[in-house]
Amino acid sequence: MTTSRRLADRKSAKFQKNIHKRGAVPETSMKKATNYPVGPVVLGLFVFVVVGSAIFQIIRTATSGGME
């Protein structure tokens, strides 16, 4: 039996098993990932640097009279 045929048989058996549960079937059989590509500490540091840089630039522009 080829790999694709075994995979098809396995999926078919899972589908047939779900039919007999009648409403108690989970919405999806895939597990939802809760991992974020960036951690909260790195995100906080990035926001701090960006916002801090913007505030620093506004202060520098205000104290220099707008044009250099």
Indicate the domain borders of the chain. Answer: 38-68
The dihedral region occupied by 23, where left means phi > 0, alpha psi between -120 and 50, and beta the remainder, is left
C-alpha pair distances (Å), 67 with each of 52, 57, 61: 21, 13, 8
59 against 11, higher pLDDT = 59
The confidence band for 47, taking pLDDT boundaries of 50, 70 and 90, is: very high
Q: What is the mean pLDDT of residues 54-60?
A: 94
Report the sign of the C-alpha dihedral through residues 39, 40, 42, 43, in that order: positive
* More confident site: 66 or 47: 47
Which sign does the torsion angle of CA 11, 17, 19, 23 carry? negative
Question: Taking residues 10-21, what's their average pLDDT?
Answer: 77
pTM more than 0.75 = no
